[in-house]
Structure 1
Amino acid sequence: MVELDAPHLDPVFHALGDRTRRRMLRELAGGERSVGQLAEPFAMSLAAASKHIKVLENAGLIRREVRGRVHLCRLEPAPLAGVQEWLAFYERFWTDRLSMLDRLLRDADASASTPSKGDKP
């Protein structure tokens, strides 16, 4: 059963609510990156990138490891499973609506392709 009131998901949804952080996660899906590498596509300072990374860390979505002077980040996908489970509960509503739309479009297509009595073949 999906826990609909899941406060542990709040920081994950907060982290995912920002486009920059979603793009950082996408980058990390390809492997670990340094803070500088994560900041580079956004032309942002390391301090600004670090703030985004901290939000991702607080949500449990990434793990940061310090190697010498380099901070390396790695994706931690486990919290995304909770988000997916939470969203899956609502998928039935989307599926029902899309199925209804599909039926309506098929009926409309069938009506349009059936000649009426006044039409000549």
Structure 2
Amino acid sequence: MNVVELTGADLDYWVARAEGYDAEVIAMHGWRYCRIDVPYHGYQVYEPTQNEMLAARIMQKHFYTVGPAPLEDQNEHGGALRVWMAEAQMNPGFHGLCKADSPWVAICRLRVAEAFWGR
């Protein structure tokens, strides 16, 4: 599995696993989403790639640094593409960096990389 290729519900699933949740990907009415089982509360939709509060908790918990990084490439309108970077600078065992079009996706990809490949 390549972390850079993970998106949507699949990325949410692996983030949930990295955070210790019992998770599964559900497909219903053309929508795929990650569902977690929260003890004493039941099932909940878990989408840190779409929910900035969930992504921010992950970022703060693991001391990630997030910021924009312009690329040399041009978009269809002639402007520079905006890319976000998430970096694990404060982690003594894993110094990774992930990029994505969204800061939340960058945080999620970094969390998966740290949890499963940073050991």
TM-score, normalising length: structure 2: 0.23
Higher relative contact order (CA 8 A, sep 6+): 1
**Structure whose alpha-carbon radius of gyration is higher:** 1
| Greater per-residue helix proportion | 1
TM-score, normalising length: structure 1: 0.23
